[in-house]
Chains A and B, each alone.
Chain A
Amino acid sequence: DAMVIQNPRYQVTQFGKPVTLSCSQTLNHNVMYWYQQKSSQAPKLLFHYYDKDFNNEADTPDNFQSRRPNTSFCFLDIRSPGLGDAAMYLCATSDRRDYNEQFFGPGTRLTVL
């Protein structure tokens, strides 16, 4: 089945220790998004890639970076995680034939100690 996969599902890191979350998709969608979601709140868009073009949201901290080496993979790098960065991180994709619909992965729950 075509899908959005996120690894790991649970990640524990230490305060200030860099961490990378990964997302892969078999949908061949050209747009990939990274969201941060805190407990029972709506997801907050951090940035997205339209093909290889990177688009940062204005209020995304510099601490968050992203890489998309190819269509299938996208990474979220947190350079120096703080306690406030503990959250669920969601990857989503959408396709040029219908940008209205986004398909989400299962998420990575990040804990910062």
Chain B
Amino acid sequence: TQLLEQSPQFLSIQEGENLTVYCNSSSVFSSLQWYRQEPGEGPVLLVTVVTGGEVKKLKRLTFQFGDARKDSSLHITAAQPGDTGLYLCAGVLGGTSYGKLTFGQGTILTVHP
């Protein structure tokens, strides 16, 4: 059973389009992180959300944490080829003391010029 369901698994779009990636769970997370990973490199932390209902913006990227802290979304506006990569959501389950991450399955995003 996957604790954190990430969708879609694959996304292939044209430059300039908008997209949203979702992470959903039946469990409550004390925080949720979004990472981006390029081929052959380690994941790079994009954002951490900790408060239910929180919205954070990073240039063209908007991150939202659900009110109940069970889900999150990543929205990219006007996608560019440089946004191509593997996007991972990862959460820390409530009650975990040392920050063990539960990962979603990942979304492979390809943005075509």
| Chain A interfacial positions (CB closer than 8 Å to B) | 4, 6, 31, 40-43, 45, 48, 50, 88, 90, 92, 94, 98-107, 109
- Contact size range, B: 20 to 34
Give the distance in Å from the alpha carbon of A95 to the alpha carbon of B92 in the complex: 14
B43 close to chain A: CB less than 8 A: yes
* Chain B residue contacts of A106, Cβ below 8 A: 41-42
Q: Could you say which of A40, A50, A98 contacts B108, with CB atoms under 8 Å apart?
A: A40
Closest residue to B99 on the A side, CB-wise?
Answer: A99
Smallest CB separation, A42 vs chain B (Å): 4
Give the distance in Å from the alpha carbon of A87 to the alpha carbon of B73 in the complex: 29
Q: Are A99 and B97 in contact (CB under 8 A)?
A: yes
| Chain B interfacial positions (CB closer than 8 Å to A) | 30-31, 33, 35, 40-45, 48, 50, 86, 88, 90, 92, 96-101, 103-106, 108
Q: Are B100 and A42 in contact (CB under 8 A)?
A: no
With contacts A40-B108, A107-B40 known, is A101 near B103, CB below 8 A? no
Q: Are B45 and A101 in contact (CB under 8 A)?
A: yes
